[in-house]
C-alpha cells in the first residue's frame, strides 16, 4: 500500500491524502462471508444516546473474519479491503472449497499456501501455538485464552514480539511496550499486520469524518459552566488549573482507568510507557 497526496485544487484537498489500494487484488467481497451491520448511532435499547458523537456514515456490511484458524492448509485467493478495520483481509480457500477471511499480514501474496496448527511453519501468515514459536518471533492476532480466537495486535502495521518462555507461560512484548504473560497453548500468527501506511493518511476535511460515522464534537471550554466543568470564564481559558474532566465530572485526559484489583494484573510483567506529560 502507498499513500497518495491529492493536488491542492481546493482548500479542503490541501494536505489531504488517500489510500491508493495498490495491494488490493479483489474489489467485490465474498457474499457467503457477509452479514448485516446495523448502526445504532450511539443509542441503547431505550433509544437514549449513551455514546456521543456517533451517527450517519456510509452503509457497510460486516466481513466475517476467522480469528481462530486452528488447523488446515489454505490457499490465498485475494487481498481485500475491509471498511470495518484498518488492516487488509485475505480470502482463503481450502481443498474442500471452504472459504474464509483472515487478517492479512504484511507481504502476503495471492497463491501462497498457508498452514495453521501443528503443521504450520514459522513463516509469514502461518499460525501456531506460542510454545512452538522461537523466541524473538514477530507475531500478531494473539489469543488471551486457548481456543478463544485472536484478541491482541490486530490493527494495521502492528506486531508483538515473543520475548521469553517460562514453562506453561510465555512473555510477549505488545506494541504499547507492555510485557505480558500469556499461556503457551494460545495461538498467534507469524508476521506483522498489513497496511502499515494507514497511520500516514490525513482525512483533510470534515466530510470524510462524517462518512466514517462520526458527528461533530464541541469543546468543553467553549460551553457554559452549567454544561461542562471546563466551561465558563471570560475569553479563552485553559483547562489545566481545572483538572481535566469529562462532562459528568470524572477525571479525564491520561488518568489510569484500569481497576487496581483486576485479576489479570498478575500477568503484566512491565506496564506500558506513559504518554509524555502525563
% of the chain exceeding 70 in pLDDT = 97
pLDDT beyond 80 at 207: yes
Give the pLDDT confidence of 20-37 residue by residue, as tens digits: 999 999 999 999 999 999
Question: Is the CB of residue 140 less than 8 Å from the CB of residue 154?
Answer: yes
pLDDT beyond 60 at 66: yes
Domains of the chain, first to last? 21-198 (2.40.50.140), 222-278 (4.10.950.10)
pLDDT beyond 70 at 275: no
Give the pLDDT confidence of 242-274 residue by residue, as tens digits: 689 999 999 888 888 889 899 999 999 998 877
Whole-model pTM above 0.85? yes
Question: What single string gives the DSSP state of each residue in 31-43?
Answer: GGGEEE----TTB
Q: Is 124 left (phi over 0), alpha (psi -120 to 50) or beta?
A: beta
Report the b/e string of 155-170 with b at 16+ CB within 10 A: ebbbbbebbeeeeebb
Lowest mean pLDDT, pick from 66-80, 222-236, 264-278:
264-278
Give the pLDDT confidence of 154-198 residue by residue, as tens digits: 999 999 999 999 989 999 999 999 999 999 999 999 999 999 999
Higher pLDDT, 276 or 235: 235
Question: What single string gives the DSSP state of each residue in the chain?
Answer: --EEEPP-SSGGGTT-EEE--TT----SPPGGGEEE----TTB-TTS-B-SSSB------EEE-B-S---SEEEEEEEEE--TTSSS-EEEEEETTS-EEEEEPBTT--TT-EEEESTT--SSTT-EEEGGGSPTT-EEESEESSTTS-EEES-STT--EEEEEEETTEEEEE-TTS-EEEEETT-EEEES-BS-GGGGG----SHHHHHHTTB-----GGGS-TTT-TT--SSS---SGGG--B-TTS-B-SS---S-TT-GGGGGEEEPPPPPTT-
Question: Is the CB of residue 160 less than 8 Å from the CB of residue 181?
Answer: no
Amino acid at each position: 500500500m502507498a499513500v497518495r497526496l491529492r493536488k491542492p485544487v481546493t482548500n479542503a484537498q490541501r494536505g489531504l491524502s488517500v489510500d491508493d489500494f495498490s495491494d488490493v487484488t479483489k474489489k467485490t467481497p465474498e457474499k457467503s462471508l457477509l452479514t448485516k451491520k446495523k448502526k445504532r448511532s450511539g443509542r441503547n435499547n431505550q433509544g437514549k444516546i449513551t455514546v456521543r458523537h456517533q451517527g450517519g456514515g456510509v452503509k457497510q456490511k460486516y466481513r466475517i473474519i476467522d480469528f481462530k484458524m486452528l488447523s488446515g492448509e489454505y490457499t490465498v485467493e485475494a487481498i481485500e479491503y475491509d471498511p470495518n478495520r484498518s488492516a487488509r483481509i485475505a480470502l482463503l480457500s481450502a481443498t474442500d472449497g471452504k472459504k474464509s477471511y483472515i487478517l492479512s499480514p504484511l507481504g502476503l501474496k495471492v497463491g501462497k499456501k498457508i498452514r495453521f496448527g501443528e503443521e504450520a511453519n514459522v513463516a509469514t501468515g502461518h499460525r501456531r501455538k506460542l510454545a512452538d514459536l522461537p523466541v524473538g518471533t514477530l507475531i500478531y492476532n494473539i489469543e488471551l485464552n486457548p481456543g478463544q480466537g485472536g484478541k491482541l495486535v490486530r490493527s494495521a502495521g502492528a506486531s508483538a514480539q515473543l520475548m521469553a518462555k517460562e514453562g506453561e507461560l510465555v512473555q510477549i512484548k505488545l506494541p504499547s511496550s507492555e510485557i505480558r504473560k500469556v499461556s503457551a497453548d494460545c495461538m498467534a500468527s507469524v508476521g506483522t499486520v498489513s497496511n502499515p501506511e494507514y497511520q500516514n493518511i490525513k482525512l483533510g476535511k470534515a466530510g470524510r469524518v462524517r462518512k466514517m460515522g462520526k458527528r461533530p464534537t464541541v469543546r468543553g471550554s467553549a460551553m457554559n459552566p452549567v454544561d461542562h466543568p471546563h466551561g465558563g470564564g471570560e475569553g479563552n481559558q485553559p483547562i489545566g488549573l481545572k483538572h481535566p474532566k469529562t462532562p459528568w465530572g470524572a477525571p479525564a485526559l491520561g488518568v489510569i482507568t484500569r481497576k487496581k484489583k483486576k485479576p489479570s494484573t498478575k500477568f503484566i510483567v512491565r506496564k506500558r510507557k506513559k504518554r509524555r506529560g502525563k
